[in-house]
Structure 1
Amino acid sequence: MGFINLGMATPTRRLELICMFLMQVAYVLTIAQLLLSKEIQLVTAQNTAKLGSTWSTLGHGQQVVTALISASNPYRLNLQEVPGAPVGRPQCYATINFENPPPVQVWVANYLSNGIYSAGGICSLKLGLDGNLVLSQSGSAIWSSQTANKGVQSIQLLNSGNLVLLTSAQAIVWQSFDHPSDTLVSGQKFPLGSILFAADPNWPYSSAGIYSARVQEYSNDLSLFVDFDHPGYTGPIPDYNQSFGSDRYWTLGTEYAEIVNSWTPYQARYVELNDGLTVFNQNGAPVIHAPSNNLNPDNFFAEYARLEPDGNLITYVFLGGPGSAGWQVNFQALSSLCEHPNACGPYGICIGNSAAAQKCAGCPVNFKPVEPSDLSQGCTPVKHLSSLCGPAVNLLELDGVTYSLFQNFYWFGELIPTYPSLLVSKAQCRAACLDDCACTAAFWYNATFPGQECFKLHGSVHTIQNTVTGPAGYHTAFIKIIT
């Protein structure tokens, strides 16, 4: 842009020159704005950052800052400031989202950091010079990768959605895939010893610690567990005796699955989501496979599996073809209401001979609804038990009911219960619970095989299910009450 001499020009010419000058200035400003915008986009679009990189919110609430974005897939590492967190929950979260609309949250850094929180203020995520990735609020650390002084030189968000901390030789020191929250994405291995915890129904950034998913080595299976009495239980899961820790209520091998290789105990090593859920053995060969339902294989396809807040494991597929775009349910572990361990709350009764007709029907005798307008909240005793033993303790007998945790699963002609059982008569089952000061309820079945079985429950009683097959007298519950 050259020098403009206004002194030698006529008034009309001066006006024309001034307009030309202003147009040139506007053009330069527009170009500068575009360049600046492009620079910001380039910074945001980076999938790698070095030591010392820091991202911060403004501390004003509802702030989302994109730290990294994968090179070719729509995964983003976001720093989020979420006001209104329940007591004991942080307000700052580092999450990985699959951004294809609608966005899906697939990982949370501080998913199990309940009780470690700050009252408010600016959230920051920093890869320190020591190689430790730290999430903080108002300067107080909420979560870290615990990788200080382990040779970390950079952070990268891979196209798979895996967040990795790398050495200078690109070796992985830490990866988000080893620390799942409630979701598995395509290509993610879920190994023996790892745990998926379902999210809190009222706060999707943290877990309530009640429902979990794990690989079971003995049965070569992916199983779902519930722990009403010890939320967040991370101890060992026995092969048969589930009377402490967590209780199993579903396995992949019972539904939607195909046995691919011959079954041998203690072979399972990991589950992978890749065109469906597959259990693999130590040699990398599939043992059980539940295929996805990709109806449009020529279009964009993605999938994820989530352990939902109600304890249901659901896999979703994204079908990108015309008229079919969006996430669709591929399969779900629990296909009906009464299969859920807590569908109708403590002591609530779930009825219905078909999935469409199932509903919460109220409470047993000597119990009342927690909330009469919402029977899913369960029931409470009219007289509360102060002790499980003594002359005032009696047993309420209910015929035609069962309990979701006392299911039998069919493995190679062998019925293996999820709970220890006694092969006794109905009268003996009643006495066994009444005389046991830890027993809260017992469920007796007169089965064709292996015969009359009695399951004692030690812990809180949750949803009771009406039976849909067999005479009512073949299924009986004994529930401790005060008379």
Structure 2
Amino acid sequence: MAAIFLFLLLLLLLQVAAAQQGNISLGASLYPNNNSYWLSNSGQFAFGFYRQGNDLAVGIWFEKTNPKTVIWTANRDAVKQEPLPNDVQLTVRDSGVELSSTSKNAFLIPISNSSQPAFRAAMLDSGNFVLYNSDSKIIWQTFDVPTDTIVSGQRLLAGTKLISSISNMNHASGRFQVIMQSDGNLVQYPVGPFTLSTDQYAYWASGTVGAGNNVSLNLDQNGGLYLLNSTGFKIKSIAGQQGLSMYPGYRLTIDADGILRLYSYSLVKNGSWSIEWSSTDNKCAPLGLCGLNSYCVLVEQEPSCVCLPGFTFIYEGQRYLGCKRNLSAVGCKGENETSYSIADVDNIDWENTPYSILSLDKTACKEDCLMDCNCEVAVFRDQQCKKQKLPLRFGRTGPTDMAVTTFVKKGTTDESSGTNRVSKGRKKVEIVVNSYYLVGILVIIQLGIL
């Protein structure tokens, strides 16, 4: 009888300890340079201040991995607008988690629509930072407001999304997102206006449209990644382990390069991360990896941005920012005559936003754009000539079976050979350019002799 009593007492103590893991009382504070974070009970996760380049940020990270891996950041875009001062302190209060300083006005880490006062907080071993009310019920948790990552035991609910970070060192919002849509489909898009979240701009999807309006993405303790409907039925397994896992930690992250990856780590391997699954093996697949008027190509399986002919990078040190014309823009010049040529770029796919679509063969498409003073670019595909206005977006290498050519109009002031048009309004005269006679011919044309 005594043994049973001792067993029940031990079980009760374990339950109390589990309930109190990482427990943080009201009034507890953190500081950037001293007592800067709170650990979960096992020491697996930490919540507090971390350095983001030269700036401070507040977040959650894997404490035992090498390097430490951030999985959540509070007010992730606020630092870009106004960095946190060095004298900032973080305090748990009944109103929430508060950042304050002696030199700045206090502001709050957002609390999700909770009108209840907080009674205590906890950094759980699941990687979830939570606030409790006086009845020990969770009134706010970071699992409900993910940034670019979910971890084991976490779900991405219908209508919520993950947004990539700018880089591994800068966890402000980046250029890519994955959305658990209300139609049951898990889809990746570039970040942008609402209109970008349409089929045209999806670069990966789970293919589960129509599965229900309460489908969730789930990552379990064994690394299983799957979609559940509102009844708990598994409608699709995306990735997963068979049986119990040998790894202590998993995370699903939409990385800065726009690819969704499932990672595992093992303490046996010094806490290093291994890729278990990724949404694509093609690193040029994410739309918008390269900026305006540029396109992505693979060089030894790594992405590289290339400018259209007649364009140069806006900033050589950050090629993903896109390209600009190295000459003045083409167009109708009234009575001023301007000479242009057409450069061909093969097998590059673009955003489909033509201002004119014509049924022409490839040669006729090229000629039509060259003679149209409003045409800057034409994309020829499937016997259709689609004339475009710049800038072009979302350029990337197309499928190997895709026959597409981009015709780019550019100035010919620096060329000594080729077939060109001298345009005067809508009047075109064909000439064969020769470096010895070009100047003389242009003078004759201007004098009206031809």
Distance 1:119 1:111, change over 3 A: closer
Match of 2:400 in 1: 469
Distance 1:311 1:81, change over 3 A: closer
Q: Which amino acid aligns with 1:461?
A: L
Matching of residue 287 in structure 1 with residue 221 in structure 2: no
Return 5+ residue gaps in structure 1 as ranges: 1-41, 86-90, 254-258, 407-418, 447-451
Distance 1:187 1:469, change over 3 A: same
Matching of residue 332 in structure 1 with residue 271 in structure 2: no
Return 5+ residue gaps in structure 2 as ranges: 1-16, 413-450
Give the structure-2-normalised TM-score: 0.69
Check whether the contact 2:190–2:196 (CA below 8 A) recurs between aligned residues.
no
Q: Which amino acid aligns with 1:445?
A: R
Match of 1:65 in 2: 36
Give 1:72 shift.
3.6
Query: How many residue pairs align between the two structures?
Result: 383
Check whether the contact 1:112–1:207 (CA below 8 A) recurs between aligned residues.
yes
Matching of residue 341 in structure 1 with residue 287 in structure 2: yes
| Partner deviation per Cα, 1:63-98 (whole Å, 9 max, x = no partner) | 67123x22246111122365723xxxxx3x221111
Q: Which amino acid aligns with 2:262?
A: T
Range 98-107 or range 339-348, more displaced: 339-348
Give matches, 1:133-148, under 5 Å.
133-138=97-102, 139-146=104-111
Match of 1:49 in 2: 24
Distance 1:389 1:346 in 2: 23
Match of 1:221 in 2: 185
Distance 1:454 1:65, change over 3 A: farther
Distance 1:81 1:124, change over 3 A: farther
Distance 2:130 2:274 in 1: 29
Q: Which amino acid aligns with 1:271?
A: L
| Partner deviation per Cα, 1:371-395 (whole Å, 9 max, x = no partner) | 679866653312354x988878999
Match of 1:403 in 2: 349
Give 1:188 shift.
1.0
Check whether the contact 1:109–1:143 (CA below 8 A) recurs between aligned residues.
no
Distance 1:373 1:429 in 2: 36
Matching of residue 264 in structure 1 with residue 210 in structure 2: yes
CA RMSD after TM alignment: 4.3
Check whether the contact 2:351–2:395 (CA below 8 A) recurs between aligned residues.
no
54, 58, 68: which one aligns with 1:84 = 54
Matching of residue 158 in structure 1 with residue 124 in structure 2: yes
Matching of residue 277 in structure 1 with residue 225 in structure 2: yes
Match of 2:252 in 1: 305
| Partner deviation per Cα, 1:41-73 (whole Å, 9 max, x = no partner) | x9xx96112222222234xxxx67123x22246
Matching of residue 177 in structure 1 with residue 143 in structure 2: yes
Give 1:328 shift.
0.3
Q: Which amino acid aligns with 1:212?
A: Q
Check whether the contact 2:93–2:118 (CA below 8 A) recurs between aligned residues.
no
Give the structure-1-normalised TM-score: 0.65
Q: Which amino acid aligns with 2:359?
A: S
* Residue identity (%): 20
Check whether the contact 1:96–1:105 (CA below 8 A) recurs between aligned residues.
yes
Give 1:238 shift.
5.3
Matching of residue 123 in structure 1 with residue 88 in structure 2: yes
Check whether the contact 2:185–2:210 (CA below 8 A) recurs between aligned residues.
no
Check whether the contact 1:348–1:360 (CA below 8 A) recurs between aligned residues.
no
308, 311, 315: which one aligns with 1:367 = 311
Check whether the contact 1:348–1:464 (CA below 8 A) recurs between aligned residues.
yes
Q: Which amino acid aligns with 1:476?
A: T
Distance 1:83 1:309, change over 3 A: closer
Distance 2:387 2:234 in 1: 36
